[in-house]
Structure 1
Amino acid sequence: MEPLFIFIAKSSGLLVLFYCAYYFLLSKETFFNSSRWFLLAGLITSVVLPFLIYTKIVWIDPAPVENSTVSSISNYSKVYITHAIENETFEINRNYIILAVYTIGFLALLIKFAIDFYSLNAVLKGKEVQQQADFKFVDINENIAPFSYFDYIVYNSSMFTASELENIIEHEKVHSDQNHTLDVLISRIFCVLFWFNPIIWLYKKAILQNLEFIADSEAAKKISDKKAYQYTLLKITTHESCVAITNHFYQSLIKKRIVMLNKNQSKKRNYWKYYAVIPALVAFVLLFQIKIIAQEKQRKELKEVVEKDSQIDIYKIKKTTTDQELKEIAEKLKKNHNVDVMISNVKRNSDKELIAIKVDIKKGTRESQNIEINGDHAIESCGIVITTKTNGSKEVVLVTDGDINKSVKTGNRIVESRKYNGQQNMANPPVPPTPPSTESLSAAPIAPVAPVLPKELMIPPPPDRTKMPKPPVAPKNHNDKVAMKNFEKKMEEFDKKMSAFEPQMAAYQKQVDEIMAKRVLGYDKEMKKFGIAMDKFDVEMEKYSANIEKQFGPDFEKKMEQFEKDMKVYEQNMKEHQKDFKRMERESQKS
């Protein structure tokens, strides 16, 4: 999807370049035929140039290593660790939405294009055609502006006088003779493909307008009365019905056509304006169409040294290698090179292809190498390379078909390599993953601290409500004088008890009022300031979040999640690294 968007951006940029050059430099010149080819060249360049990419290979010196000789290749072993890669799930994103919108617009304009062809065919169908020289004249009855379509010239003779019709036919002969219909069709095709770009519609208008300038200029040379031709232009403006995909005599901007018709010829020295676009095209190529690939010289030099000074035996293990062939490889290595090989953890899928294997190699007591691959799919080829030097020494290397110094992606797993060589194991531990860069990102805003309520301003608990007297319950029968008299006595007792309890409540209310008065003067003001600071903090956080998304994209959190996963793998590798170091230390002590 991204290459498509890049192509559209480059193509649109080139269209803008050519249109601006025509509009600001050439539209007022009378080099109409040259402008025609200039505009067509702009359309072709906007499509072709983005595909022309020059690849430049730059050879760079390899990164320095501890041992500069070729023999250093064998002084390490490789441990290949497999990590599962999560399958990507399909997600609807804005790319698919943009593509859907583009497709709808493209199909709509394509249907409109087809309808225009059908309308043209309907006009020409069943009409009498008069062949004269290279032209086919069609006299119609419809009220349609005169037009030409390749060698067809269509007009309604009843609408014009003999002199007017002569002027129209001379005009349309120019369109037909110079194949202006091709320009119209090409511009329409580009409008269908790049309908979303407003420049292409202006570009099409410029092409059609320039074609009219050409036809007017050539027809005026053959017509004796130039004023009568101009009056014919004005008369034709009343016929607004026309066929879209043809060169029709009526066009908008009649005033500009008449002005250009009476304009003096431009001076030839103004031809330099056509070449003004060349520096911009050169800059475009240098900036966007040159791809630089850096390659290290190490492999080329290494290959030359190995070919000159050594003999290589390769024992390749493929996904189709059988158990018997694995056994034979181990026997040959022992017999021919005195190398002990142990192959274990062999697993196969339903097609009997290798999906897991572990190879341990030991030559003497100083060198130990191993390779381990494990996954769900068939393995890539791996192998054992024995290099015999001219002095008789042998070097043993375990390799895969991928780059031995880089991670190799195989199906749904990643195979990584690590180097071990006695005490060098401590100097070359697993390299921790690099977190997503945040150097250019400003620090996150610091949230304001809420003011702490002093203990002396905290509301004390109210008096014990359990000690409050309970009011008596009124009798249901208010006419019962005895019951009502008894109720009144209880109410008098309740009022006395409440009178004794009210001073406690009054003292508590007074205490609360004093505390609240102090809080209004101090703590509440601090809380208002804190609220304002929090509002400002929320605004800064929104800017900070927008800055993160702008610099790192919406997938920054996914990158951080991947970094955390890589850190877990790194910790696991460190544990394996420590185990290997202890094992090698024990072997060294035994030796």
Structure 2
Amino acid sequence: MEALFIYLIKSSGLIVLFYLAYFLMLRKETFFNSNRWFLLAGLITSVLLPFVFITKIIWVEPAATPINWSNMPMTNYTEEKTFEDYLPIITTLAYGIGTLLLLGKFAFDFYSLNAVLKGKSIQQQADFKFIDTKENVAPFSYFNTIVYNSALYTASELENILEHEKVHSEQNHTIDVLISRLFCIVFWFNPFIWWYKKAILQNLEFIADSEATKKISDKKAYQITLLKITTYENCVAITNHFYQSLIKKRIVMLNKNQSKKWNSWKYALVLPLLVAFVFLFQIKTIAQEKTNENVSKSARDVVTTINKNFSDEELKKKAEFFKKEFNCDLIFSEIERNSSSEITGITVNYNGNLYGNGTYKQHSSNAIKDIYIKHEGGKIDITDAEIDAKIKNDRIASSSDKTLSIDKEIFINGEKVSQNDMDKLDPNEIERMDVNKKNNQQEIRIVTKKFHKTITENDIYINGEKADKNELLQLDQNTIDKMDVNKKEKTIRITTKTNTQTFNDTNIPAPPTPPKFPDGPMPVAPPIDMSKLPAPPAHPSNMKDKKAMAEFEKKMKEFEKKMESFEPDMSAYEKEVEEVMAKREQIFEKEMAKYEDAMEKYRDAMEKRNN
């Protein structure tokens, strides 16, 4: 679950990044369609980018002191439950409950939608399905279905409403609504996702208003329709509905001049922020031990075994190993197997600039004996198991008789042993043996088959993080504070002294808290007396009747003059709202600047502390 929560936190951070970019730079622009794709791209990026990692390799010095396992404090692992142990469970339960509640609300909204649509008469026109309901609901669209109550509106108002809803249907705005709802369910704990959803829905209304007014001759009549619809607040949550509480912003956007094309450069500003996110949080560091530059690969002794059960893939890996380590070509050919897939015959050819050429063969009716391919002293030697045992024992005995001035250290399964212990070891029990030579120091490291099996069957954790067997063997014994073995859970848990000091360090700098956008009461929109709204004059049926047309134009001028009486109140309200939002934006920008400075100091403090 820890990996899941880290993923949710990273995705939430990206959602915040895209929302702030939209709010601070794009929300006042009239690039409505571009804003739609920008907001959707933000959601998709927040889901996918946390999976993208850049691998960084750090070369570290080899462990100065090998691990002497016999001196390590070994205890049976017993875990005492603390509040920190229960915290992941509590967090998981809280997140799960919140998610389930929102999923239930989502399902209920579908049920409410089905209740509205069920049993209604559908009128098909082109690609649209129209449902004229008698229920007191605001007009809405769901994919290509448009629902309205014609009894609540005049013919001209209904025309405006349907043009608006057709835009929602044609451009599949329902998909945006559903996606934003699903993100709210998954990221419900992030307050920015709710503002993000509101921004998506608001922008969809801008798009529908902009496209609808292109097909409507009377723009003012459309705005009057917007004001009238505000009285019908009953709507279905998962649909594109004509009513929106931000009616003032929609009217402002309808009358706003088109943004200049060069302002589209603002979209590109999010790219360096995404790059910064990747380099700050998506770098996966892998530590690799440096090889000894004073000892060439050709001087390293290696013994590798091939037995009767080797598959073709395993033989291929052996050949790749010798090619990589010693630039020696091993070629396995004439491979024969019995009914049990055991190797009964094999030919091994080797050649290389340092080794010359050679061939080894085993062919019989029975399974082959173990084959030992050795790289010793810059030379390749291939023998079977019987010959190898004698050679290995001779080599061990010979090394004890030498009087060379070379210091020798022998380690079996990480434990330092004597020459006598090595002499007693059965060669057939050896899984791997590495011999390293450096100046007057010789180091022999042996891993037995039993020990290899033990560390392979157990999960290894170093300072709480899962590690592999190579990391375990490379760990410096002087840094180990405690090692607990839990046979029941099949785990080996190691705590180093460095980690203990870090855990108890109370001077760890705390990261700053990001600011929240100021909230508070908004100015109240001026009340509109619907009874005083003048009705537009009816258009003459006979366009050639000059007298009727003159009378119509006269009445239209009177109508427009009366409509202008409503504009001062709306203009004053708009100015008041803009002043409030401008002050809040200034406060938020100052807080963001302080937050960015604090983050810089926090990063510097953490970097100094880690170094």
Shared fold (TM-score, shorter chain, > 0.5): yes
1:177 aligns with 170
Contact 1:85 1:413 in 2 (8 A): no
Indicate the SS of the match to 2:130: strand
How far the C-alpha of 1:175 sits from its partner, in A, is: 0.2
Give the direction of change, closer, same or farther, for the CA distance of 1:432–1:200 in structure 2 (3 Å limit).
Answer: closer
Query: Which of 431, 434, 446 is equivalent to 1:398?
Result: 446
Structure with bigger strand share is: 2
Query: Which of 301, 309, 312 is equivalent to 2:303?
Result: 312
- 1:438-458 residue CA offsets vs partner (Å, 9 max, x unmatched): 79768xxxxxxxxxxxxxxxx
1:493 aligns with none
How far the C-alpha of 1:395 sits from its partner, in A, is: 9.1
1:31 aligns with 31
Separation in 2 of the partners of 1:418 and 1:178? 60
Contact 2:128 2:145 in 1 (8 A): yes
Q: Comparing both chains, which one has the higher relative contact order based on Cα–Cα distances under 8 Å and sequence gaps of 6 or more? A: 1
Indicate the SS of the match to 2:232: coil
Contact 1:26 1:35 in 2 (8 A): yes
1:437 is the counterpart of 2:485: no
How far the C-alpha of 1:125 sits from its partner, in A, is: 1.1
Separation in 2 of the partners of 1:20 and 1:93? 35
Amino acid at match of 1:146: P
- 1:319-351 residue CA offsets vs partner (Å, 9 max, x unmatched): xxxxxx9xxx9987652333599xxxxxxxxxx
2:249 aligns with 256
2:367 aligns with none
TM-score normalized by the length of structure 2: 0.55
Indicate the SS of the match to 1:241: coil
1:243 is the counterpart of 2:201: no
1:411 aligns with 458
- 1:402-443 residue CA offsets vs partner (Å, 9 max, x unmatched): 999xx9686389998799xxxxxxxx997774363379768x
1:371 aligns with 412
Separation in 1 of the partners of 2:98 and 2:117? 29
Separation in 2 of the partners of 1:362 and 1:79? 28
Indicate the SS of the match to 1:56: strand
1:200 aligns with 193
2:125 aligns with 132
1:191 aligns with 184
Amino acid at match of 2:91: I
Separation in 1 of the partners of 2:4 and 2:152? 50
Q: How does 1:274-313 map to 2 (within 5 A)?
A: 274-298=267-291, 304-305=297-298, 312=303
- 1:209-260 residue CA offsets vs partner (Å, 9 max, x unmatched): 0000000000001000111111111111111111100000111111111111
Query: Which of 97, 101, 106 is equivalent to 2:99?
Result: 106
1:589 aligns with none
Give the direction of change, closer, same or farther, for the CA distance of 1:336–1:49 in structure 2 (3 Å limit).
Answer: same
Amino acid at match of 2:458: G
Amino acid at match of 1:175: H
Amino acid at match of 2:257: N
Query: Which of 233, 241, 265 is equivalent to 1:272?
Result: 265
Contact 1:77 1:369 in 2 (8 A): no
Contact 2:141 2:241 in 1 (8 A): yes
Indicate the SS of the match to 2:129: strand
Indicate the SS of the match to 1:142: coil
Indicate the SS of the match to 1:21: helix
How far the C-alpha of 1:84 sits from its partner, in A, is: 3.8
Q: How does 1:27-66 map to 2 (within 5 A)?
A: 27-59=27-59, 62=62
Indicate the SS of the match to 2:245: coil
Q: Runs of 5+ in structure 1 lacking a partner?
A: 66-75, 317-324, 342-360, 375-380, 420-427, 443-550, 552-591
Separation in 2 of the partners of 1:77 and 1:264? 74
How far the C-alpha of 1:373 sits from its partner, in A, is: 9.7
1:20 aligns with 20
Amino acid at match of 2:120: K
Q: How does 1:377-526 map to 2 (within 5 A)?
A: 383=431, 385=433, 397-399=445-447, 411=458, 433=481, 434=497, 436-437=500-501
| Higher Cα Rg, which structure | 1
- 1:553-585 residue CA offsets vs partner (Å, 9 max, x unmatched): xxxxxxxxxxxxxxxxxxxxxxxxxxxxxxxxx
Contact 2:414 2:445 in 1 (8 A): no
1:336 is the counterpart of 2:391: yes
Count of aligned residue pairs for this structure pair: 382
TM-score normalized by the length of structure 1: 0.56
Contact 1:78 1:369 in 2 (8 A): no
Contact 2:12 2:190 in 1 (8 A): yes
Indicate the SS of the match to 2:147: strand
Amino acid at match of 1:48: L
Contact 1:315 1:385 in 2 (8 A): no
Indicate the SS of the match to 1:234: helix
Q: How does 1:212-223 map to 2 (within 5 A)?
A: 212-223=205-216
What percent of counterpart residues are identical?
A: 57
Contact 1:58 1:293 in 2 (8 A): yes
Contact 2:36 2:200 in 1 (8 A): yes
Separation in 2 of the partners of 1:251 and 1:408? 63
Contact 1:180 1:211 in 2 (8 A): yes
Separation in 1 of the partners of 2:20 and 2:37? 16
Amino acid at match of 1:371: I
Q: CA RMSD in A?
A: 4.3
Separation in 2 of the partners of 1:253 and 1:304? 73
How far the C-alpha of 1:292 sits from its partner, in A, is: 2.5
Give the direction of change, closer, same or farther, for the CA distance of 1:430–1:410 in structure 2 (3 Å limit).
Answer: farther
Amino acid at match of 1:437: Q
Q: Runs of 5+ in structure 2 lacking a partner?
A: 308-369, 371-383, 403-407, 416-428, 462-468, 482-496, 508-604, 606-611
1:210 is the counterpart of 2:203: yes
Indicate the SS of the match to 1:128: coil
Indicate the SS of the match to 1:312: strand
Indicate the SS of the match to 2:141: strand
2:11 aligns with 11
